[in-house]
Structure 1
């Protein structure tokens, strides 16, 4: 197979697609001719996205609302590909973690992922069309940073969830993989708590490629893992980190 693949005509759902990495993913799949569906809780960014890309189906929904999310995903019909990109990170040191913040991390970063995949996979299974899933985690699951306990805990849960998806959905020709980016040039990083910002600078200094990851580079990896070019890759966690993990010093 050639190293070129087109998503033209494919039905792609991207959660959290109105800003940051998600917005770039929406743009890339749109430009490749895919039928793009996205959900985001921010009405303003959804409205702006609809103005810029009127062919994209963009819906406002709070992913913590299980029933509303399920209804919206069902309305998109049978999908070919899913990108669970939506996520939150609220900085709290271990001794400051509240039940509300802990629950919110798991509601958005884990439970919403389960809900979206259950709903979409049901359609794939009934149609017998197969499909592929990419869940976006973080390199933060490989080590601890002050203030990110709940974010990293929820994202490492996503990694294990991805493995179960690959095992249980594999017989239906549905693949699932997880990616773990390090520092990305995205709003979540720019608006981070000062303690997180310090950790970001420290991480970049350890990179062998000393710059943040461009969202387009995340999109390149996501598109590869969703495509038939990676047909025998499933249940994997793929790092994109600019050499961070390779550099012990």
Structure 2
């Protein structure tokens, strides 16, 4: 097989599709001829998405609302590929973390993915069609950074959840992998916080490639992992971090 694959006609579900990495993923799959099914909490970004890409099916829904999310996904019909991208990062020092903020991180960054995969994968199993899942992790799962303990905890949890997905869904020909980005040129990296500023400085200092990652570069990797080109990659986290992880 050559290093080319088309998602034309494939039905791709993307959460957090209104901005950042999610918006770029929507664009790339749309341009490749896929049937794109996008979820985002923000009605304004969904409206803008529908205006710019009218062929995309986009729904405003809070993924922490399991019932509303389930209904939205069921309304889409068949799903071939899932990208769990929706996430939140609220910077708080350890001694200032509140229960509400901790719960928000886990509800959005981890638990919502369970509901999303259960709902979409049920159809894959019933149809016997198989499918693929990519969950977005983070370089934050590789080490601690001041002010982001809850975000990091959810991302390492997502990586283990992905392994469980790969184990239990693999017999149904459904693969699940993680992508672990480093510093991405996206809204999360533009949060105005001294903790974020210091974290970015440390990442760029340790990177061997001294720049932020373009969202298109994340999309390249996601599309590879969703495609048959990666047919025997399952339960893995593939880092894309400009050499951060290699530098000890």
Q: Normalised by the size of structure 2, how large is the TM-score?
A: 0.99
| Matches of 1:28 and 1:18, distance apart in 2 | 13
Q: Which residue of 2 aligns with 1:79?
A: 79
Give the alignment of 1:136-215 within 5 angstroms. 136-215=136-215
Q: Deviations over 1:99-150 (max 9, x none)?
A: 0000000100011100000000000000000000000010111100011110
Partner residue of 1:233?
233
Runs of 4+ aligned residues of structure 1 deviating over 4 Å after TM superposition are none
Aligned to 2:22: 22
Q: CA deviation at 1:192?
A: 4.1
Q: Structure 2: give runs of 5+ residues left out of the alignment.
A: none
Separation of aligned partners in 2, 1:64 and 1:122: 19
Matched position secondary structure for 1:44: helix
Q: Equivalents in 2 of 1:51, 1:201: separation in Å? A: 37
* Distance in structure 1 (CA, Å) of the matches to 2:192 and 2:135: 22
Q: For residues 88 and 115 of structure 1, what CA distance do their matches in structure 2 show?
A: 17
Q: Deviations over 1:164-218 (max 9, x none)?
A: 0000000000000001101000011012422112111211111111000000000
Equivalent position SS for 1:247: coil
- Matched pairs, number: 248
Structure 1 length normalisation: TM-score? 0.99
CA distance in 1, matches of 2:220, 2:246: 21
DSSP-derived class of the 1:223 partner: helix
Long gaps (5+) in structure 1: none
For residue 88 of structure 1, what is the aligned residue in structure 2?
88
1:125 equivalenced with 2:125 (yes/no): yes
Residue matched to 2:50: 50
Query: Equivalents in 1 of 2:129, 2:214: separation in Å?
Result: 32
Root-mean-square deviation (CA), in Å? 0.6
